[in-house]
Amino acid sequence: MRLRGLTKRFGETLAVDRLDLDIPTGTMFGVVGPNGAGKTTTLSMATGLLAPDAGLVEVYGVDLWREPARAKPLLGVLPDGLRVFDRLTGAELISYAGLLRGLPADVVAQRRDDLLAALDLAGAARTLVADFSAGMTKKITLACALVHAPRLLVLDEPFEAVDPVSAGVIRRILAQFVAQGGTVVLSSHVMALVERMCDHVAVIGAGRVLATGSLDEVRAGADLEERFFDLLGARGPEAGLAWLRPS
Amino acid sequence: MVATVLRLKLRLLANTMQREVWRVILVVLGALWALSMVPGVVGGARWLAFQPLEVRSSALVVVGTVLLVGWTVIPVLMFGADETVTPRKFAVLGPDPRRLAPALAVAATLSVPALFTGFVCLASMLAWREEGGPTTAFALASGAAAFATCVLASRVVTAFATRLLSTRRARELAGVLGGLVALCAVPVGISLGSLGLEGALERLPGLATALSFTPFGAAWAAPAAAAAGEWAGAFGHLLLAWGFVGAGMLVWVAQVDRLMVDPPSTVGAARRRADAFVGEVGAPGPTTTARLARAVARRALRYWLGDPRYLASLASTLLMPLLIAVLLAVVGLSSVSGAVLVAPLVAGAVGWGRHNDTAFDGTAFWLHVSAGVPGVADRAGRVLALSAWAVPGVVAIAVGGAWLAGRWDVLGASLGLALGLYGAGLGVAMVSSVLLPYPAPRAGDSPFATETGSVGASLVAQLVATLATAVLAAPVVVLFWLTAEGRASLGGVVLAVGALGGVLVLAAGVVLGGRLLDARGAQLLARLT
């Protein structure tokens, strides 16, 4: 995936500012950055969910915004902060996603059952997604992103609210996917997780790429978290809340 | 508590007005309208003062009834016209419902319609000013009761309707009740129509007497009784009126209490069921587009059955045509009965009613954008889901209406007009829901909640959709009128033009809306967020 000069402005705020990023095929690519850095905006534009003001998105050489019909089948997307059709049951939501991707019914049924089993959601298959916990909703949305076996997975905060056991399962699924030649892009706030999972990272701040490359290149001998603080000019201990102690 | 809630409401109003010019314009227009009505209200009250006692009494009871009916119906009809401060928002602060509920009721009086209603209640005193001090005192006390009844009724009804639509069993019940009311409206309209306006007026005093023992008329009957010297009756009606206020307050306090700890769950349908998507819909279709459209239709039907927002929006679009049909029946058009017009009005409203359809998906619509669903399949699926129940329903209403009115000769024309309006309305909706989406209540929110900051957008979208539907449906409307005016032989032509034209406009709407969706899917999604 190749991003060139991606720009998005919301009113007065420049959320993403001429952002360039290359994501090599077959990598597990982590995108980190503080709140409001433009991670979600960037990933939304990279997956066809948000029209950029300017810039280019290429997925395996296909211009996503010019030829969406060719590019979108290559992508599996887990967006953050968007709702799902939660009046459907878990099983129905996966089936719906599969059918929308144009898969034949028998294939959809098979993959739905496999995904439900793999993500430990079989017990919730007949329950409305509206009754799911946040972590379960995340998992079912991930299943929707996987159902058509894409070549590139773009996952925005895939581990948020997910319990450790499920996170382990998801990590193994993603690692296997990469081992078979797939590409994964994921964003996270948890440095340790990115450090453990990803072989490539990009640090984003104020709508620009501050550093990118292989994990070792970016952390340059230090801890990823320390590098992150360096790049962003992190602040010291919180001052001014002297009154905040148990009363 | 009262002062705090009032200040909060004023601050919220001020903030929304700063953000949205439309709301300011609306409030100013509303205030101007109310001001323009003031001379009429005062004049009417003065005129009443010179009328015989019975006329005064019946007229005021009717005025009071209209006011209270308005206050109970309109809040449900207009999605959350006044939902800036709702009990639910105070839940986390844990206030005492017995103090919060009255404060919320007082805050609800801070709106143009409420202030105008208050003025009408106060002005009614003018009709009694010649009758001496005690009667005026009764008029003042009962005017206040009437005002309080109106405000409380709107609160209680909104809370009740939200709760009613939130459980599956209750929703089915509401659907059945709504259907019964709709069915009753037609015969009532016809019998009123047969009485004629004058016949109906003659029966007014009897009706007014009956109403004077209900919340609708009790307050308004008290000064009349006092003026007639029936002090027992006067005290009785006044006590009754304030009794209704007290009962309303008790119900409101109980509702607030419950809303804070047990908000209505808006997921009502069967919570556990097998996946019906694969198998039925996924069967190999003629084309990929057809398969996708069937999947979208199945999903939309799930929402029609399981999401109270759809039912609430349907109810609010249907109320207006039913009222129009009843009014037409009462006024008594010579050439065509209201019963014959019910089906076309309902059909047009149901089709037009989906003019904001995409917004009901909310941000969940990303699934369609991300999968790159062809716009035509998306649109066609929505049309299929609605038509699956709406077309048989409209045909049934048309046949029922013709039977009630005894006008089998215009059935063809009525059906033609209905299908034409349905096609035009829904065709326009398929385009406007791509171009002019406005915020809809989110799945899981109260179906009566409205997003702040959407007034202008919703007005523009509704106006555009209405105009476009009217223009597209003009040919079939003209043809229908010619038929009704005596050229019954044209009935077949109307049916053919309506059905074919409706299908054509609908197909054009699906194709055009689909193309626009292909081009602007992501932009649309951004506006739904």
Q: Tell me the C-alpha distance between B244 and B106, whole Å.
A: 17
What are the tens digits of pLDDT across the range B11-22? 888 887 777 677
**8 A C-beta contact, residue A202 and residue A174:** no
Asked if the Cβ–Cβ distance from B372 to A99 is below 8 Å, we say no
Cα dihedral angle (B312, B314, B318, B319), rounded to 10 degrees? 10
Cα dihedral angle (B420, B422, B423, B426), rounded to 10 degrees? 150
Q: What is the mean pLDDT of chain B?
A: 81
Q: What local confidence, expressed as pLDDT, does residue B269 receive?
A: 47
What are the tens digits of pLDDT across the range B347-382? 999 999 899 899 899 899 999 999 999 999 999 999
Asked if the Cβ–Cβ distance from B282 to A108 is below 8 Å, we say yes
| Helix residue ranges, H only, B50-77 | 53-77
Sheet architecture: strand order including A208-214: A75-78, A152-156, A183-187, A28-32, A200-205, A208-214
Phi, psi (rounded to 5 degrees) for A29: -110, 120
Residue A143 has pLDDT above 90, yes or no: yes
A214 forms beta bridges with: A200
Ramachandran region, residue A153 (left: φ > 0; alpha: ψ -120 to 50; beta: rest): beta
Q: Quick check: B473 contacting A, CB < 8 Å? A: no
Q: Tell me the C-alpha distance between B1 and B104, whole Å.
A: 9
Name the residue facing B277 among A92, A106, A126 (closest C-beta).
A92
Name the residue facing A72 among B274, B371, B443 (closest C-beta).
B371
| Percent of all residues in chain B with a pLDDT value above 70, rounded to a whole number | 81
Q: What local confidence, expressed as pLDDT, does residue B282 receive?
A: 46
| Interface size between A and B, measured as CB pairs under 8 A | 131
Asked if the Cβ–Cβ distance from A91 to B274 is below 8 Å, we say yes
Give buried/exposed letters for B360-391 (b at 16+ CB in 10 A, else e): bbbbbbbbbbbbbbbbbbbbbbbbbbbbeebb
Q: Tell me the C-alpha distance between B359 and B528, whole Å.
A: 6
Asked if the Cβ–Cβ distance from B274 to A83 is below 8 Å, we say no
For residue A100, what are its two tokens?
A: 């929308």
Q: Tell me the C-alpha distance between B479 and B497, whole Å.
A: 9
What are the tens digits of pLDDT across the range B31-51? 888 888 888 888 888 888 888
Angle at B78 between CA B82 and CA B204, to 5 degrees: 105
For residue B293, what are its two tokens?
A: 């459209």
Residue A159 has pLDDT above 60, yes or no: yes
Element (H, E) at A21: strand A13-22
Q: Taking CB atoms and an 8 Å cutoff, what residues of chain B touch A49?
A: 366, 369-370, 522, 525
Asked if the Cβ–Cβ distance from A85 to B367 is below 8 Å, we say yes
**8 A C-beta contact, residue B78 and residue B316:** yes
Tell me the angle at which helices A134-146 and A90-100 cross, rounded to the nearest 10 degrees.
30
Give residue B218's pLDDT band: very low, low, confident or very high (50, 70, 90).
confident
Residues 78-137 of A with CB under 8 A from B: 79, 81-89, 91-92, 95-97, 99-102, 104-106, 108-109, 112, 125-128, 130-131
Asked if the Cβ–Cβ distance from B370 to A48 is below 8 Å, we say yes
Q: Tell me the C-alpha distance between B433 and B452, whole Å.
A: 19
Residue A238 has pLDDT above 70, yes or no: no
For residue B84, what are its two tokens?
A: 């800036």
Angle at A36 between CA A35 and CA A41, to 5 degrees: 120
**8 A C-beta contact, residue A37 and residue B354:** no
**8 A C-beta contact, residue B364 and residue A85:** yes
Q: Tell me the C-alpha distance between B357 and B433, whole Å.
A: 6
Question: If we measure between CA atoms, which residue out of A106, A115, A150 comes closest to residue B277?
Answer: A106
Asked if the Cβ–Cβ distance from B367 to A100 is below 8 Å, we say yes
- The tally of CA atoms less than 13 A away on the side-chain side of residue B339 is 24
Ramachandran region, residue A35 (left: φ > 0; alpha: ψ -120 to 50; beta: rest): beta
Phi, psi (rounded to 5 degrees) for A88: -100, 160
For residue B230, what are its two tokens?
A: 């029936």
Phi, psi (rounded to 5 degrees) for A13: -85, 130
Asked if the Cβ–Cβ distance from B522 to A128 is below 8 Å, we say no
Residue B79 has pLDDT above 70, yes or no: no
Give residue B309's pLDDT band: very low, low, confident or very high (50, 70, 90).
confident
Residue B266 has pLDDT above 80, yes or no: no
What are the tens digits of pLDDT across the range B86-115? 777 888 888 888 888 899 888 888 888 888
Give residue B310's pLDDT band: very low, low, confident or very high (50, 70, 90).
confident
Q: Taking CB atoms and an 8 Å cutoff, what residues of chain A touch B288?
A: 102
Give residue A151's pLDDT band: very low, low, confident or very high (50, 70, 90).
very high
- The tally of CA atoms less than 13 A away on the side-chain side of residue B322 is 20
Angle at B526 between CA B521 and CA B529, to 5 degrees: 125
Q: Three-state SS for A184?
A: strand
What are the tens digits of pLDDT across the range B400-420? 888 877 778 888 888 999 999
Q: What is the DSSP letter of A8?
A: E
Q: Tell me the C-alpha distance between A99 and A102, whole Å.
A: 5
